[in-house]
Structure 1
Protein backbone atom coordinates (compact mmCIF):
# COMPACT_ATOMS: atom_id res chain seq x y z
CA UNK A 1 0.00 0.00 0.00
CA UNK A 2 1.26 3.43 -0.89
CA UNK A 3 -0.23 6.89 -1.07
CA UNK A 4 -1.53 9.60 1.24
CA UNK A 5 -4.14 10.03 3.97
CA UNK A 6 -5.74 13.39 4.69
CA UNK A 7 -5.99 12.93 8.46
CA UNK A 8 -7.99 15.16 10.80
CA UNK A 9 -5.69 15.19 13.84
CA UNK A 10 -7.56 15.04 17.16
CA UNK A 11 -6.89 17.33 20.12
CA UNK A 12 -4.20 16.13 22.52
CA UNK A 13 -2.39 13.88 20.04
CA UNK A 14 1.13 14.58 18.85
CA UNK A 15 1.90 14.17 15.16
CA UNK A 16 4.09 11.22 16.14
CA UNK A 17 1.13 9.63 17.97
CA UNK A 18 -0.88 9.87 14.75
CA UNK A 19 1.85 8.22 12.70
CA UNK A 20 2.10 5.40 15.25
CA UNK A 21 -1.67 4.86 15.15
CA UNK A 22 -1.74 4.73 11.35
CA UNK A 23 1.14 2.23 11.37
CA UNK A 24 -0.87 -0.01 13.68
CA UNK A 25 -4.13 0.32 11.75
CA UNK A 26 -2.55 -0.33 8.34
CA UNK A 27 0.06 -2.79 9.64
CA UNK A 28 2.77 -0.82 7.83
CA UNK A 29 6.17 0.39 8.99
CA UNK A 30 6.72 3.10 6.36
CA UNK A 31 4.48 5.93 7.53
CA UNK A 32 5.37 9.62 7.80
CA UNK A 33 3.71 13.00 8.04
CA UNK A 34 4.09 16.52 6.65
CA UNK A 35 3.85 19.71 8.71
CA UNK A 36 3.96 18.96 12.44
CA UNK A 37 0.92 20.03 14.48
CA UNK A 38 1.14 20.81 18.21
CA UNK A 39 -0.84 18.43 20.48
CA UNK A 40 -3.35 21.20 21.30
CA UNK A 41 -4.01 21.87 17.60
CA UNK A 42 -6.48 19.94 15.47
CA UNK A 43 -7.07 19.61 11.75
CA UNK A 44 -5.26 18.61 8.59
CA UNK A 45 -2.21 16.39 9.05
CA UNK A 46 -1.03 14.87 5.75
CA UNK A 47 0.10 11.26 6.23
CA UNK A 48 2.18 9.34 3.71
CA UNK A 49 2.28 5.55 3.61
CA UNK A 50 4.65 3.18 1.83
CA UNK A 51 6.94 4.66 -0.80
CA UNK A 52 4.91 7.87 -0.74
CA UNK A 53 6.93 8.89 2.33
CA UNK A 54 9.70 9.76 -0.14
CA UNK A 55 7.37 12.27 -1.79
CA UNK A 56 6.69 14.32 1.35
CA UNK A 57 9.50 16.75 0.49
CA UNK A 58 7.78 17.66 -2.79
CA UNK A 59 4.40 18.63 -1.33
CA UNK A 60 3.44 22.32 -1.44
CA UNK A 61 4.21 24.19 1.78
CA UNK A 62 1.22 26.54 1.91
CA UNK A 63 -1.09 26.24 4.92
CA UNK A 64 -4.24 27.83 6.36
CA UNK A 65 -5.56 27.98 9.91
CA UNK A 66 -8.49 29.10 12.01
CA UNK A 67 -7.15 30.46 15.29
CA UNK A 68 -8.56 31.92 18.49
CA UNK A 69 -6.28 34.49 20.12
CA UNK A 70 -6.85 35.56 23.73
CA UNK A 71 -5.58 39.01 24.61
CA UNK A 72 -4.39 40.19 28.02
CA UNK A 73 -2.52 36.96 28.75
CA UNK A 74 1.07 35.82 28.10
CA UNK A 75 2.23 32.25 28.65
CA UNK A 76 5.52 30.36 28.55
CA UNK A 77 4.48 28.36 25.47
CA UNK A 78 2.49 31.12 23.70
CA UNK A 79 -0.66 29.01 24.04
CA UNK A 80 -2.95 27.96 26.88
CA UNK A 81 -0.92 24.80 27.50
CA UNK A 82 1.83 26.84 29.18
CA UNK A 83 2.18 28.65 32.50
CA UNK A 84 0.79 32.17 32.69
CA UNK A 85 3.54 34.81 32.76
CA UNK A 86 1.33 37.90 32.90
CA UNK A 87 -2.41 38.47 33.06
CA UNK A 88 -3.88 41.96 32.72
CA UNK A 89 -7.50 42.74 31.81
CA UNK A 90 -7.83 44.82 28.64
CA UNK A 91 -11.53 45.38 28.26
CA UNK A 92 -10.91 48.79 26.68
CA UNK A 93 -9.73 47.20 23.42
CA UNK A 94 -12.03 47.59 20.44
CA UNK A 95 -12.22 45.95 17.03
CA UNK A 96 -10.79 48.99 15.22
CA UNK A 97 -7.56 48.68 17.25
CA UNK A 98 -7.41 44.98 16.49
CA UNK A 99 -7.77 45.53 12.74
CA UNK A 100 -4.99 48.13 12.72
CA UNK A 101 -2.62 45.88 14.67
CA UNK A 102 -3.45 42.74 12.67
CA UNK A 103 -2.64 44.53 9.40
CA UNK A 104 1.03 44.43 10.45
CA UNK A 105 0.95 40.65 10.06
CA UNK A 106 0.62 40.43 6.28
CA UNK A 107 3.28 39.78 3.68
CA UNK A 108 6.83 38.77 4.57
CA UNK A 109 7.48 39.37 8.26
CA UNK A 110 10.26 38.56 10.71
CA UNK A 111 9.16 36.05 13.31
CA UNK A 112 10.82 34.52 16.36
CA UNK A 113 9.47 30.98 16.86
CA UNK A 114 8.15 30.00 20.31
CA UNK A 115 10.77 28.76 22.74
CA UNK A 116 8.69 25.58 23.07
CA UNK A 117 9.00 24.38 19.46
CA UNK A 118 10.62 21.56 17.50
CA UNK A 119 13.23 23.82 15.89
CA UNK A 120 16.80 22.64 16.43
CA UNK A 121 19.56 24.83 17.80
CA UNK A 122 23.02 23.25 17.81
CA UNK A 123 21.43 19.83 17.31
CA UNK A 124 18.91 20.08 20.15
CA UNK A 125 15.16 20.72 20.04
CA UNK A 126 14.12 24.04 21.52
CA UNK A 127 11.41 22.44 23.65
CA UNK A 128 13.98 20.06 25.19
CA UNK A 129 16.26 22.98 26.06
CA UNK A 130 13.32 24.95 27.49
CA UNK A 131 12.24 22.03 29.69
CA UNK A 132 15.80 21.76 30.97
CA UNK A 133 15.62 25.41 32.01
CA UNK A 134 18.31 26.51 29.58
CA UNK A 135 18.15 30.04 28.19
CA UNK A 136 18.56 29.97 24.42
CA UNK A 137 18.53 32.77 21.90
CA UNK A 138 15.97 31.67 19.33
CA UNK A 139 16.97 32.77 15.82
CA UNK A 140 14.37 34.80 13.94
CA UNK A 141 13.15 33.79 10.48
CA UNK A 142 11.32 35.38 7.60
CA UNK A 143 7.86 33.90 7.05
CA UNK A 144 5.09 34.89 4.66
CA UNK A 145 1.50 35.62 5.62
CA UNK A 146 -0.73 35.64 2.54
CA UNK A 147 -3.88 36.88 4.23
CA UNK A 148 -5.62 37.37 7.58
CA UNK A 149 -9.38 37.59 8.01
CA UNK A 150 -11.22 38.37 11.24
CA UNK A 151 -14.06 35.88 11.75
CA UNK A 152 -15.32 36.97 15.17
CA UNK A 153 -14.49 39.32 18.04
CA UNK A 154 -15.64 38.83 21.63
CA UNK A 155 -15.06 41.83 23.86
CA UNK A 156 -14.47 41.51 27.61
CA UNK A 157 -11.74 41.70 30.24
CA UNK A 158 -9.78 39.11 28.26
CA UNK A 159 -11.15 39.57 24.74
CA UNK A 160 -10.85 36.84 22.12
CA UNK A 161 -10.34 37.12 18.40
CA UNK A 162 -11.15 34.40 15.86
CA UNK A 163 -9.03 34.81 12.75
CA UNK A 164 -8.34 32.88 9.55
CA UNK A 165 -4.71 32.92 8.44
CA UNK A 166 -3.24 31.70 5.13
CA UNK A 167 0.53 31.44 5.19
CA UNK A 168 3.67 29.79 3.89
CA UNK A 169 5.54 26.94 5.54
CA UNK A 170 7.42 27.50 8.77
CA UNK A 171 4.94 30.03 10.17
CA UNK A 172 4.04 29.72 13.85
CA UNK A 173 0.50 30.87 14.64
CA UNK A 174 1.41 30.88 18.34
CA UNK A 175 4.04 33.50 17.55
CA UNK A 176 1.46 35.62 15.72
CA UNK A 177 -0.80 35.48 18.80
CA UNK A 178 2.10 36.48 21.06
CA UNK A 179 3.31 39.26 18.76
CA UNK A 180 -0.18 40.67 18.22
CA UNK A 181 -0.43 41.02 21.99
CA UNK A 182 2.93 42.80 22.01
CA UNK A 183 1.81 45.28 19.33
CA UNK A 184 -1.35 46.00 21.33
CA UNK A 185 0.60 46.30 24.62
CA UNK A 186 -1.69 43.75 26.24
CA UNK A 187 -0.01 40.41 25.81
CA UNK A 188 -1.57 37.64 23.78
CA UNK A 189 -1.65 33.87 23.55
CA UNK A 190 -3.16 31.21 21.32
CA UNK A 191 -6.38 29.78 22.78
CA UNK A 192 -7.33 27.33 19.99
CA UNK A 193 -6.03 26.28 16.59
CA UNK A 194 -7.39 24.23 13.68
CA UNK A 195 -5.42 23.73 10.48
CA UNK A 196 -7.86 23.92 7.59
CA UNK A 197 -5.37 23.41 4.73
CA UNK A 198 -1.91 21.88 4.45
CA UNK A 199 0.23 20.68 1.56
CA UNK A 200 -2.71 20.59 -0.85
CA UNK A 201 -5.12 18.84 1.57
CA UNK A 202 -8.19 20.51 3.11
CA UNK A 203 -10.23 19.96 6.24
CA UNK A 204 -13.54 19.30 4.45
CA UNK A 205 -12.11 16.15 2.82
CA UNK A 206 -10.16 14.92 5.86
CA UNK A 207 -10.69 11.63 7.71
CA UNK A 208 -10.92 11.18 11.45
CA UNK A 209 -9.45 8.03 12.98
CA UNK A 210 -13.01 6.78 13.36
CA UNK A 211 -13.59 7.32 9.62
CA UNK A 212 -10.38 5.50 8.78
CA UNK A 213 -11.16 2.56 11.05
CA UNK A 214 -14.66 2.20 9.57
CA UNK A 215 -13.34 2.26 5.99
CA UNK A 216 -10.76 -0.39 6.88
CA UNK A 217 -13.40 -2.60 8.51
CA UNK A 218 -15.74 -2.52 5.49
CA UNK A 219 -12.89 -2.72 2.97
CA UNK A 220 -13.46 0.63 1.27
CA UNK A 221 -10.26 2.40 2.30
CA UNK A 222 -8.04 3.60 -0.53
CA UNK A 223 -5.09 5.96 0.03
CA UNK A 224 -4.96 9.08 -2.12
CA UNK A 225 -2.84 8.39 -5.19
CA UNK A 226 0.70 9.81 -4.95
CA UNK A 227 0.54 12.02 -8.02
CA UNK A 228 -2.89 13.44 -7.11
CA UNK A 229 -1.32 15.61 -4.41
CA UNK A 230 1.53 16.80 -6.65
CA UNK A 231 -0.61 18.67 -9.15
CA UNK A 232 1.19 21.92 -8.32
CA UNK A 233 4.19 20.52 -10.23
CA UNK A 234 4.26 20.52 -14.04
CA UNK A 235 4.42 17.13 -15.73
CA UNK A 236 6.34 15.48 -18.56
CA UNK A 237 5.46 12.23 -20.34
CA UNK A 238 8.24 10.04 -21.69
CA UNK A 239 8.04 7.42 -24.44
CA UNK A 240 8.60 3.87 -23.20
CA UNK A 241 12.31 3.55 -24.06
CA UNK A 242 13.17 6.93 -22.51
CA UNK A 243 11.04 6.12 -19.48
CA UNK A 244 12.97 2.89 -18.92
CA UNK A 245 16.31 4.70 -19.14
CA UNK A 246 15.10 7.43 -16.76
CA UNK A 247 13.97 4.82 -14.22
CA UNK A 248 17.45 3.29 -14.41
CA UNK A 249 18.97 6.60 -13.34
CA UNK A 250 19.87 7.97 -16.78
CA UNK A 251 19.40 11.59 -17.77
CA UNK A 252 17.02 12.34 -20.63
CA UNK A 253 17.30 15.30 -23.02
CA UNK A 254 14.06 17.24 -23.42
CA UNK A 255 12.79 20.55 -24.72
CA UNK A 256 14.26 23.16 -22.32
CA UNK A 257 11.03 25.16 -21.88
CA UNK A 258 10.57 24.16 -18.23
CA UNK A 259 12.90 24.15 -15.24
CA UNK A 260 12.70 22.73 -11.73
CA UNK A 261 10.91 19.70 -10.31
CA UNK A 262 8.35 17.91 -12.49
CA UNK A 263 6.09 14.87 -12.30
CA UNK A 264 7.28 12.16 -14.69
CA UNK A 265 4.91 9.78 -16.50
CA UNK A 266 5.34 6.91 -18.96
CA UNK A 267 1.75 7.25 -20.16
CA UNK A 268 -0.81 9.87 -19.17
CA UNK A 269 -1.73 7.84 -16.09
CA UNK A 270 1.41 5.89 -15.15
CA UNK A 271 3.26 8.00 -12.61
CA UNK A 272 6.98 7.17 -12.46
CA UNK A 273 8.33 9.71 -9.98
CA UNK A 274 9.90 13.13 -9.64
CA UNK A 275 12.58 14.56 -11.91
CA UNK A 276 14.36 17.88 -12.14
CA UNK A 277 14.73 19.74 -15.41
CA UNK A 278 17.99 21.61 -15.85
CA UNK A 279 18.82 23.22 -19.20
CA UNK A 280 16.67 20.74 -21.11
CA UNK A 281 17.93 17.66 -19.26
CA UNK A 282 15.58 15.57 -17.09
CA UNK A 283 17.46 14.29 -14.04
CA UNK A 284 15.94 11.53 -11.84
CA UNK A 285 15.27 12.73 -8.28
CA UNK A 286 12.90 10.05 -6.96
CA UNK A 287 11.86 7.00 -8.98
CA UNK A 288 8.53 5.95 -7.53
CA UNK A 289 7.39 3.26 -10.01
CA UNK A 290 10.26 1.72 -11.98
CA UNK A 291 9.66 0.01 -15.32
CA UNK A 292 10.82 -3.59 -15.51
Structure 2
Protein backbone atom coordinates (compact mmCIF):
# COMPACT_ATOMS: atom_id res chain seq x y z
CA UNK A 1 0.00 0.00 0.00
CA UNK A 2 1.37 3.37 -1.01
CA UNK A 3 1.71 5.87 1.82
CA UNK A 4 1.52 9.58 1.16
CA UNK A 5 3.38 12.13 3.24
CA UNK A 6 1.43 15.25 4.08
CA UNK A 7 2.86 18.23 2.24
CA UNK A 8 3.97 20.99 4.58
CA UNK A 9 2.77 24.52 3.91
CA UNK A 10 4.93 27.61 3.73
CA UNK A 11 3.42 29.57 6.61
CA UNK A 12 4.92 32.85 7.84
CA UNK A 13 3.46 34.63 10.85
CA UNK A 14 2.94 34.73 14.60
CA UNK A 15 0.23 32.87 16.47
CA UNK A 16 -0.67 34.06 19.97
CA UNK A 17 -1.51 30.72 21.55
CA UNK A 18 -3.22 30.25 24.90
CA UNK A 19 -1.35 27.17 26.12
CA UNK A 20 -3.53 24.85 28.21
CA UNK A 21 -2.64 23.25 31.52
CA UNK A 22 -0.96 19.88 31.47
CA UNK A 23 0.71 20.33 28.09
CA UNK A 24 4.38 21.15 27.58
CA UNK A 25 5.33 24.18 25.50
CA UNK A 26 6.80 21.89 22.86
CA UNK A 27 3.67 19.75 22.88
CA UNK A 28 1.49 22.82 22.30
CA UNK A 29 3.86 24.02 19.57
CA UNK A 30 3.75 20.69 17.73
CA UNK A 31 -0.05 20.57 17.98
CA UNK A 32 -0.32 24.05 16.46
CA UNK A 33 2.22 23.18 13.81
CA UNK A 34 0.20 20.14 12.76
CA UNK A 35 -2.99 22.19 12.54
CA UNK A 36 -1.27 24.71 10.26
CA UNK A 37 0.71 21.99 8.43
CA UNK A 38 3.62 24.41 8.80
CA UNK A 39 7.05 23.49 7.50
CA UNK A 40 8.85 25.41 10.26
CA UNK A 41 7.82 26.58 13.72
CA UNK A 42 9.22 27.59 17.10
CA UNK A 43 7.94 29.07 20.37
CA UNK A 44 9.23 32.06 22.27
CA UNK A 45 9.76 31.11 25.90
CA UNK A 46 8.98 27.91 27.80
CA UNK A 47 5.92 27.57 30.00
CA UNK A 48 5.86 24.64 32.43
CA UNK A 49 3.14 22.00 31.87
CA UNK A 50 1.35 23.22 35.02
CA UNK A 51 1.41 26.80 33.71
CA UNK A 52 -1.03 28.12 31.15
CA UNK A 53 -1.34 31.25 29.12
CA UNK A 54 0.30 33.25 26.39
CA UNK A 55 2.78 31.32 24.24
CA UNK A 56 3.63 33.12 20.99
CA UNK A 57 4.35 30.59 18.24
CA UNK A 58 6.44 31.69 15.26
CA UNK A 59 5.96 30.06 11.88
CA UNK A 60 8.36 30.11 8.95
CA UNK A 61 10.27 33.35 8.52
CA UNK A 62 9.02 34.64 11.87
CA UNK A 63 11.42 32.25 13.61
CA UNK A 64 14.29 34.50 12.45
CA UNK A 65 13.00 37.29 14.69
CA UNK A 66 11.73 35.28 17.68
CA UNK A 67 14.64 36.37 19.89
CA UNK A 68 13.00 39.77 20.30
CA UNK A 69 10.13 38.10 22.18
CA UNK A 70 12.49 35.90 24.20
CA UNK A 71 14.18 39.06 25.46
CA UNK A 72 10.93 40.89 26.24
CA UNK A 73 9.30 41.63 29.58
CA UNK A 74 6.53 39.26 30.72
CA UNK A 75 3.45 39.43 32.94
CA UNK A 76 1.91 36.63 35.01
CA UNK A 77 -1.03 35.96 37.29
CA UNK A 78 -0.06 33.48 39.97
CA UNK A 79 -1.41 31.95 43.16
CA UNK A 80 1.12 31.45 45.96
CA UNK A 81 0.25 28.87 48.60
CA UNK A 82 2.04 29.71 51.84
CA UNK A 83 3.08 27.25 54.56
CA UNK A 84 4.14 24.43 52.24
CA UNK A 85 7.40 24.00 50.36
CA UNK A 86 7.59 21.46 47.52
CA UNK A 87 10.42 19.77 45.63
CA UNK A 88 9.63 21.67 42.44
CA UNK A 89 8.40 24.98 43.81
CA UNK A 90 4.92 24.33 42.43
CA UNK A 91 1.96 22.01 42.93
CA UNK A 92 3.56 19.30 40.79
CA UNK A 93 6.16 18.48 43.42
CA UNK A 94 5.98 16.64 46.72
CA UNK A 95 5.55 18.63 49.92
CA UNK A 96 8.88 18.57 51.76
CA UNK A 97 8.12 20.94 54.64
CA UNK A 98 5.11 22.52 56.32
CA UNK A 99 5.11 25.54 58.61
CA UNK A 100 2.46 27.68 60.20
CA UNK A 101 1.21 30.71 58.27
CA UNK A 102 1.29 33.44 60.93
CA UNK A 103 1.36 36.74 59.06
CA UNK A 104 -1.35 39.19 58.06
CA UNK A 105 -2.00 41.06 54.84
CA UNK A 106 0.06 44.06 55.97
CA UNK A 107 3.12 41.84 56.47
CA UNK A 108 2.53 40.24 53.08
CA UNK A 109 2.37 43.63 51.37
CA UNK A 110 5.59 44.67 53.10
CA UNK A 111 7.34 41.50 51.94
CA UNK A 112 6.14 41.98 48.38
CA UNK A 113 7.60 45.47 48.35
CA UNK A 114 11.03 44.09 49.24
CA UNK A 115 10.98 41.90 46.12
CA UNK A 116 10.10 44.71 43.73
CA UNK A 117 12.92 46.17 41.63
CA UNK A 118 16.27 44.62 40.73
CA UNK A 119 16.79 41.37 42.65
CA UNK A 120 19.02 38.29 42.50
CA UNK A 121 17.48 34.86 41.91
CA UNK A 122 19.05 31.42 42.10
CA UNK A 123 17.56 29.35 39.23
CA UNK A 124 15.63 26.29 40.44
CA UNK A 125 16.92 22.77 40.00
CA UNK A 126 13.69 21.90 38.22
CA UNK A 127 14.42 24.03 35.17
CA UNK A 128 15.59 23.58 31.59
CA UNK A 129 18.88 25.38 32.20
CA UNK A 130 21.83 23.30 31.06
CA UNK A 131 24.82 22.05 33.08
CA UNK A 132 27.47 20.15 31.12
CA UNK A 133 25.00 19.61 28.31
CA UNK A 134 22.19 18.23 30.48
CA UNK A 135 19.09 20.03 31.80
CA UNK A 136 19.06 20.77 35.51
CA UNK A 137 15.75 18.96 35.97
CA UNK A 138 17.45 15.73 34.85
CA UNK A 139 19.95 16.08 37.70
CA UNK A 140 17.12 16.95 40.10
CA UNK A 141 15.16 13.82 39.18
CA UNK A 142 18.31 11.78 39.87
CA UNK A 143 18.67 13.41 43.29
CA UNK A 144 21.78 15.40 42.33
CA UNK A 145 22.10 19.02 43.43
CA UNK A 146 24.10 21.36 41.17
CA UNK A 147 25.52 24.67 42.36
CA UNK A 148 23.81 27.53 40.50
CA UNK A 149 24.92 31.12 40.23
CA UNK A 150 22.39 33.80 41.16
CA UNK A 151 21.03 35.81 38.25
CA UNK A 152 19.95 39.42 38.33
CA UNK A 153 16.36 40.06 37.19
CA UNK A 154 13.93 42.95 37.46
CA UNK A 155 10.50 42.73 39.06
CA UNK A 156 8.71 45.78 37.67
CA UNK A 157 5.63 45.37 39.87
CA UNK A 158 3.78 42.92 42.11
CA UNK A 159 0.08 43.57 42.63
CA UNK A 160 -1.74 41.76 45.41
CA UNK A 161 -5.19 40.78 44.11
CA UNK A 162 -6.42 38.72 47.05
CA UNK A 163 -5.27 36.98 50.24
CA UNK A 164 -7.34 34.49 52.24
CA UNK A 165 -4.83 33.89 55.02
CA UNK A 166 -3.13 30.95 53.25
CA UNK A 167 -3.02 31.74 49.53
CA UNK A 168 -2.35 34.99 47.70
CA UNK A 169 -3.19 35.83 44.10
CA UNK A 170 -0.64 38.15 42.49
CA UNK A 171 -0.10 39.97 39.23
CA UNK A 172 3.63 40.13 38.42
CA UNK A 173 5.38 42.11 35.70
CA UNK A 174 9.02 41.14 35.26
CA UNK A 175 12.05 40.97 33.00
CA UNK A 176 13.11 37.98 30.94
CA UNK A 177 14.71 35.15 32.88
CA UNK A 178 12.54 35.60 35.97
CA UNK A 179 11.36 32.42 37.68
CA UNK A 180 7.97 33.07 39.26
CA UNK A 181 8.31 29.81 41.23
CA UNK A 182 11.47 31.14 42.84
CA UNK A 183 9.82 34.50 43.51
CA UNK A 184 6.96 32.76 45.33
CA UNK A 185 9.35 30.58 47.32
CA UNK A 186 11.51 33.56 48.29
CA UNK A 187 8.51 35.60 49.45
CA UNK A 188 7.43 32.59 51.54
CA UNK A 189 10.88 32.32 53.13
CA UNK A 190 10.90 36.04 53.88
CA UNK A 191 7.62 35.52 55.73
CA UNK A 192 9.04 32.56 57.66
CA UNK A 193 6.73 29.84 56.38
CA UNK A 194 7.84 28.79 52.90
CA UNK A 195 5.57 28.66 49.84
CA UNK A 196 4.95 27.16 46.44
CA UNK A 197 2.91 28.12 43.38
CA UNK A 198 -0.49 26.48 43.10
CA UNK A 199 -1.32 28.23 39.80
CA UNK A 200 0.53 30.21 37.13
CA UNK A 201 -0.76 31.90 34.00
CA UNK A 202 1.23 34.10 31.62
CA UNK A 203 -0.93 37.08 30.70
CA UNK A 204 1.35 39.20 28.52
CA UNK A 205 4.67 39.35 26.72
CA UNK A 206 6.23 42.21 24.76
CA UNK A 207 2.94 44.10 24.63
CA UNK A 208 0.91 41.10 23.44
CA UNK A 209 -1.89 39.95 25.74
CA UNK A 210 -4.18 36.98 26.19
CA UNK A 211 -7.08 39.00 24.78
CA UNK A 212 -5.80 38.39 21.25
CA UNK A 213 -4.84 34.75 21.77
CA UNK A 214 -6.37 31.54 20.41
CA UNK A 215 -6.86 28.19 22.12
CA UNK A 216 -6.03 24.85 20.51
CA UNK A 217 -9.68 23.67 20.63
CA UNK A 218 -10.79 26.86 18.87
CA UNK A 219 -8.15 26.39 16.16
CA UNK A 220 -9.27 22.78 15.68
CA UNK A 221 -12.78 23.99 14.88
CA UNK A 222 -11.55 26.37 12.16
CA UNK A 223 -10.78 25.67 8.54
CA UNK A 224 -7.42 26.58 7.02
CA UNK A 225 -8.53 30.08 6.04
CA UNK A 226 -9.87 30.76 9.52
CA UNK A 227 -6.63 29.69 11.15
CA UNK A 228 -4.61 31.87 8.81
CA UNK A 229 -6.67 34.89 9.86
CA UNK A 230 -5.41 34.31 13.42
CA UNK A 231 -1.79 34.86 12.35
CA UNK A 232 -0.10 38.18 12.94
CA UNK A 233 2.42 39.45 10.35
CA UNK A 234 6.10 38.75 10.95
CA UNK A 235 7.02 42.39 11.53
CA UNK A 236 4.96 42.58 14.76
CA UNK A 237 7.99 40.96 16.40
CA UNK A 238 10.12 44.03 15.66
CA UNK A 239 7.45 46.70 15.93
CA UNK A 240 9.46 48.48 18.61
CA UNK A 241 12.15 49.39 16.05
CA UNK A 242 11.91 52.42 13.72
CA UNK A 243 11.17 51.70 10.08
CA UNK A 244 12.90 52.59 6.83
CA UNK A 245 11.54 52.13 3.28
CA UNK A 246 13.72 51.39 0.25
CA UNK A 247 13.16 52.52 -3.33
CA UNK A 248 13.51 49.92 -6.10
CA UNK A 249 17.22 50.48 -6.73
CA UNK A 250 18.12 50.19 -3.05
CA UNK A 251 15.71 47.28 -2.61
CA UNK A 252 17.61 45.22 -5.17
CA UNK A 253 21.01 46.05 -3.65
CA UNK A 254 19.83 45.40 -0.11
CA UNK A 255 18.32 42.00 -0.91
CA UNK A 256 21.57 41.00 -2.61
CA UNK A 257 23.42 41.60 0.66
CA UNK A 258 24.82 45.04 -0.13
CA UNK A 259 24.70 48.13 2.05
CA UNK A 260 22.62 51.11 0.89
CA UNK A 261 23.08 54.78 1.59
CA UNK A 262 21.37 55.96 4.72
CA UNK A 263 20.87 59.50 5.96
CA UNK A 264 20.14 58.79 9.63
CA UNK A 265 22.71 58.85 12.39
CA UNK A 266 23.52 55.57 14.12
CA UNK A 267 23.16 57.36 17.46
CA UNK A 268 19.40 57.48 16.93
CA UNK A 269 18.98 53.71 16.62
CA UNK A 270 21.36 51.05 15.24
CA UNK A 271 18.64 48.79 13.81
CA UNK A 272 15.62 49.44 11.61
CA UNK A 273 12.64 47.57 10.21
CA UNK A 274 13.13 47.67 6.45
CA UNK A 275 10.32 47.71 3.87
CA UNK A 276 10.06 47.85 0.09
CA UNK A 277 8.49 51.24 -0.59
CA UNK A 278 6.62 50.07 -3.70
CA UNK A 279 4.76 47.16 -2.10
CA UNK A 280 5.19 47.78 1.65
CA UNK A 281 6.58 44.23 1.96
CA UNK A 282 8.60 43.67 5.13
CA UNK A 283 12.15 42.77 4.11
CA UNK A 284 13.84 42.25 7.47
CA UNK A 285 16.27 44.22 9.59
CA UNK A 286 18.92 46.70 8.57
CA UNK A 287 21.84 47.76 10.74
CA UNK A 288 23.81 51.00 10.72
CA UNK A 289 27.41 49.89 11.15
CA UNK A 290 29.06 53.07 9.97
CA UNK A 291 27.77 56.56 9.26
CA UNK A 292 25.78 56.86 6.06
CA UNK A 293 25.15 53.18 5.30
CA UNK A 294 22.48 50.65 6.19
CA UNK A 295 23.60 47.00 6.02
CA UNK A 296 21.33 43.94 5.73
CA UNK A 297 21.27 42.23 9.14
CA UNK A 298 18.50 39.63 9.04
CA UNK A 299 16.38 39.21 5.93
CA UNK A 300 13.12 37.58 4.94
CA UNK A 301 13.43 35.02 2.17
CA UNK A 302 11.97 37.49 -0.34
CA UNK A 303 12.80 37.02 -4.01
CA UNK A 304 14.43 39.93 -5.74
CA UNK A 305 12.36 41.19 -8.67
CA UNK A 306 13.89 40.74 -12.09
Q: Is the 8 A contact 1:256 1:279 kept in 2?
A: no
Match of 2:34 in 1: 24
Instruction: List gaps (5 residues or longer) in structure 2.
Output: 1-10
- Distance in 1 between the 2:276 and 2:224 partners? 35
Compared CA separation, residues 50 and 217, structure 1 to 2 (3 A): closer
Partner of residue 193 from structure 1, selected from 182, 187, 200: 200
1:203 aligns with 2:213: no
Partner of residue 234 from structure 2, selected from 215, 226, 238: 226
Q: Is the 8 A contact 1:239 1:266 kept in 2?
A: yes
Show CA shifts across 1:1-57 (max 9, x none).
210100000000000001110121111230100011000000000001111111101
Q: How many residues align?
A: 288
- Distance in 2 between the 1:279 and 1:106 partners? 40
- Distance in 2 between the 1:121 and 1:183 partners? 29
Partner of residue 215 from structure 1, selected from 222, 227, 230: 222
RMSD: 1.6
Show CA shifts across 1:118-175 (max 9, x none).
11122221111111222201121111111111111111xxx10111001111111001
Q: CA deviation at 1:279?
A: 3.4
Query: With structure 1 as the length reference, what TM-score do the two structures score?
Result: 0.94
1:237 aligns with 2:237: no
Partner of residue 282 from structure 1, selected from 294, 298, 301: 294
Q: CA deviation at 1:100?
A: 0.6
- Distance in 1 between the 2:303 and 2:90 partners? 46
1:97 aligns with 2:104: no
Show CA shifts across 1:86-117 (max 9, x none).
01221x21000001111111111101111100
Query: With structure 2 as the length reference, what TM-score do the two structures score?
Result: 0.90
Q: Is the 8 A contact 2:19 2:28 kept in 1?
A: yes
Match of 1:41 in 2: 51
- Distance in 2 between the 1:174 and 1:6 partners? 23
- Distance in 1 between the 2:149 and 2:172 partners? 23
Show CA shifts across 1:57-78 (max 9, x none).
1335111000100111111111
1:138 aligns with 2:148: yes
Q: CA deviation at 1:250?
A: 1.1
- Distance in 2 between the 1:16 and 1:180 partners? 30
Compared CA separation, residues 290 and 185, structure 1 to 2 (3 A): farther
Partner of residue 113 from structure 1, selected from 112, 123, 133: 123
Q: Is the 8 A contact 1:14 1:38 kept in 2?
A: yes
Q: Is the 8 A contact 1:212 1:221 kept in 2?
A: no
Map 1:266-277; keep pairs closer than 5 Å. 266-267=276-277, 269-277=280-288
- Distance in 1 between the 2:288 and 2:119 partners? 32
- Distance in 1 between the 2:295 and 2:151 partners? 32
- Distance in 2 between the 1:218 and 1:56 partners? 24
Q: Is the 8 A contact 2:53 2:201 kept in 1?
A: yes
1:247 aligns with 2:255: yes
